[in-house]
Amino acid sequence: MFDLERWQEVFETISKNKLRTFLTGLSVASGIFILVILLGIGEGMKNGIEREFQGDAANAIYVYPGVTTKEYKGLNPGRRIQLKNDDFEYTSAENKSALEFKSSVYRIYGGLLTYENESGSYSVEGVYPDYQFLENASMVTGRFLNYKDIEESTKIVVLGNRVKMDLFKDSKDVLGEYVEISGIKFQVVGVYTDPGGEREESRVFVPITTAQKVFSGGNNINSLSFTLEPKDTYEEALLASNNFTNKVETYLKGKHTIAPGDNSAVRVNSRLENTKRFYDLIGMIKMFFWGVGICTIIAGVVGVSNIMLIIVKERTREIGVRKALGAQPLSIIGMVLHESIFVTSFAGLTGLIMGLVLLDFVGPMIQTDFIYNPTVNFKVALSTVVILIVAGAIAGFFPSYRAARIKPIIALRDE
């Protein structure tokens, strides 16, 4: 039941110790403020990494060639490995039942695209139709590549939305138009958008067979991309991913005469493994942030406890009078706890509100790849409120226990 007289006494006591109470409350408020900001940054890092991973399929596996670093079977290190069409064809056929989507990629970096008086340099990628799903690309208009385009090596192109805006400006109807890629005309059949943003939309896709013929690629390819069939659990998906990556790596190292321990010659990247590592890292960062915030709050709690000890000493005579008039030890403890919880809760809520307001205003202005929309959710805010109440109770317990043990006869003699 709300005790108005008790709270009036709390306000009177606090007003008598304004400066000390203010400084102590400031330390608690700053602790909660720092905790909220750190947790907001942690959540922003989590959101940023999730946004980065949205650009491609969550279970994608990419294979890139590199340079050998070890001598093997009489071959010197420093050899550049070149993937071929048959690497993709064998891997796809050997793992047909395990694969969901697959594509090899042949890239032309800095391809010059021209339309009438507009031109620009973009990445031109020869791919298979499945690449749309590997990249999570969505069609804005028209269509993506199909297997007929691959078979017939047609000169068609799918533009990224950024490329379309650069070359065609405000023109809405681009389907059927022709653009030149390094002086060769390709017909536009579609425009796509990508969750990764403008960077991912600054590419154009053509059939891989066309790219290899037109741009003198022969049967060379730059990388392989796969996704595996979905599994019921993350553990099953990770196990399947590890088995597949080991199998692909073993095959490619054997075919291209690469030392088994040479990890630079062929790099197999699994997004599932990368995702797990990132989220483990974010989890550790959040735990560190919680630790820093809690330590700061503890410093404030110690300050509150010290202030309450001083207040108890200053009110020794008053406590003695109360006990002489029949006040029970629990009522004395309650009196001190009321004041302690009030100071920590009021100061902490002030810090909490300031932190939330700052994140609300500054958060949307943060434009980085790995920090996006730093916020603190309701559960975290509720947790900090609980921490405040517990902290106030802890800060007031020892002073209140000391006050309850004061003997009336000794207290009444206090000057």
Q: What is the mean pLDDT of residues 114-126?
A: 91
Same domain, 164 and 38: no
Domain-located, residue 108: yes
Q: Which amino acid is at 146?
A: N
Where among 198, 216, 234 does a domain terminate? 216
* 42 lies in the same domain as 125: no
pTM for the complete prediction? 0.60
397 domain-assigned:
yes
Residue 22 lies in a domain: yes
CA 388/CA 29 separation, integer angstroms: 10
Q: Looking at the structure, tell me whether residues 405 and 298 fall in a common domain.
A: yes
Highest mean pLDDT among 115-119, 277-281, 329-333: 115-119
* Same domain, residue pair 41 and 161: no
For position 247, what pLDDT does the model report?
Answer: 93
Name the domain boundary from 166, 194, 216: 216
Assigned domain for 18 exists: yes
- The 10 Å Cβ neighbour count of residue 228 is 23
Residue 332: DSSP 8-state? H
Q: Is residue 169 part of a domain?
A: yes
Give residue 324's pLDDT: 67
Give yes or no: residues 399 and 306 share one domain. yes
Q: Structural domain of residue 286, as residue ranges? A: 4-53+278-412
* Arithmetic mean of pLDDT, 378-403: 71
> 142 and 23 in one domain?
no
pLDDT at 11 over 60: no
Q: Are residues 292 and 382 in the same domain?
A: yes
Is the model more confident about 129 or about 269? 129
Q: How confident is the model at residue 3 (pLDDT cuts 50, 70, 90)?
A: low
- Distance CA(128)–CA(102), nearest Å, equals 8
Do 393 and 302 lie in one domain? The reply is: yes
- 126-136 pLDDT, tens digit per residue, is 999 999 988 88
**Helix extents (H) in 225-328:** 234-255, 271-314, 316-324
Q: Provide the domain count of the chain.
A: 2
Question: Does residue 303 sit in the same domain as residue 403?
Answer: yes
Rg of the chain, C-alpha, whole Å: 33
- Which of 216, 247, 270 is the last residue before a domain boundary? 216
Task: Output the DSSP codes for 97-142.
Answer: TTEEEEEEEEEEEEEEEEETTEEEEEEEEEE-TTHHHHTT-EEEEE
The answer to whether residue 353 sits within a structural domain is yes
The verdict on residue 268 lying in a domain is no
Residue 286 sits in the same domain as residue 397: yes
351 domain residue, yes or no: yes
Judge if 282 and 369 occupy the same domain: yes
Co-location of 316 and 384 in the same domain: yes
pLDDT the model gives residue 104: 95
